[in-house]
Amino acid sequence: MHSEQVPLIRQVDMALQQLENELKGMTAGTIVLQIRNDTVGKFGIRHLPIDIDQARAGKGSSPGLTSAQVTALRRTAVEAITRKNGWTHGEITYDFALRQDKVQVSVQFESNYNMANVLFRLHPKKHDRRGISGE
């Protein structure tokens, strides 16, 4: 089955499943999903450097997200997709932080458009009337 046959909401869930082991050790970060033609392309996590500073200072002794918290984060991410409408290219970011044993998530949608496509629709190329041989 090709990715374009899989609904975007399922693709987001699958991407977050792939990131689960990495998420379990984190207390904060940003999950990034790049979307093209309603298909998840690249995805990954940006780690927040503040966690490193807190660890060095002896603060933030939290071991990171638990399995249940990762599941809650995934559920929130999937639910957020229902708010995306009218665009097929862009980026979705999920900023998350573990605070008082609860996962806080904020979601940002970014739509991207290509001006060349817009101009092409406004002014389609006219076929060369000279023919193939250049007469």
Strands (E), 24-111: 28-36, 39-47, 90-99, 102-111
Residue pLDDT, tens place only, 33-74: 999 999 999 999 998 765 555 556 565 556 789 999 999 999
Is the pLDDT reported for residue 108 higher than 90? yes
**Domain limits, the chain:** 3-122
CA distance 53 to 51: 5
Contact of 65 with 94, CB cutoff 8 Å: no
